[in-house]
A = this chain, B = another copy of it.
């Protein structure tokens, strides 16, 4: 069976890339992550010229592949439809891995009820901002934090009830005043997770989606108060998005592109042009300098 040639268009830059350096990614090797490309030539019966393909790509301008199926969900390629004529960059963000992480995790683990209180850390990030909007649609009170005044403004724009800058306001103070919290969406780990455990209601759900505070410290920041799990019947869910792809993928593509096209779910992007900028873009994200989904646009033109 013949192969097909894909021109890379957009790559997703995710905080978790950091955790793979030196483990999954060895020095001198090409790194890879979620992306989208366009088929320039195909000798494969199921793939044709002009198809837009989503999946995990090596960070290179052109890729040759020989099939759509991979060993794991993450390795599978998928042809994407764009009925709403959305910008293709959205397919690595709000309708890509970030949107899926938010949507699958929220549906599977939040057990959200209207009137409950949720706290979202890194609320201005690609995943957090979608979680916030899903929570608002479900009728929850949303507390969210970010690391700059600009990001706090973005939080307010997407409907957050209590938005704060965690660098100038103590998380534990806010949660004590505005909590207790029924759900915590954790992108950070460390101190914020500890504060959230302390401020949890009885029966709270905590969704562990990321641990950015630990990626750069060599050792993750330790959690000292897990005993709160016992006292308050708290459940901690580890969210590995690929596990839930078979369960929610179809629903996701029915629901999200439509909500985004109508403007009912908003997204922000931080696009950097050029593969040679990948290194500094990862670094900027680890420093929290991006606002919205961090994306590499591989070449100037699609």
Contacts and interface: CB of A to CB of B under 8 A. Distances in A.
Interface residues on A, range: 20 to 34
A214 interface: yes
A208 B235 CA distance: 10
17 contacts: A19-B227, A189-B226, A193-B226, A203-B243, A208-B229, A211-B226, A211-B230, A220-B224, A220-B226, A220-B227, A222-B222, A226-B236, A228-B238, A230-B238, A231-B238, A233-B239, A233-B240
Contacts of A243: 202-203, 233
Most buried by B among A221, A227, A239: A227
A209 interface: yes
A223 B228 CA distance: 13
A236 B225 contact: no
Interface of A: 19, 189, 193, 202-203, 208-211, 214, 219-240, 243
> What's the number of copies of this chain in the assembled complex?
2
Contacts of A229: 208, 236-238
A226 B188 CA distance: 11
Nearest to A221: B224
A200 B209 CA distance: 18
A42 B280 CA distance: 79
B230 A240 contact: yes
A15 to B, nearest CB: 11
Contacts of A226: 189, 193, 208, 211, 220, 223, 236
Contacts of A222: 222-224
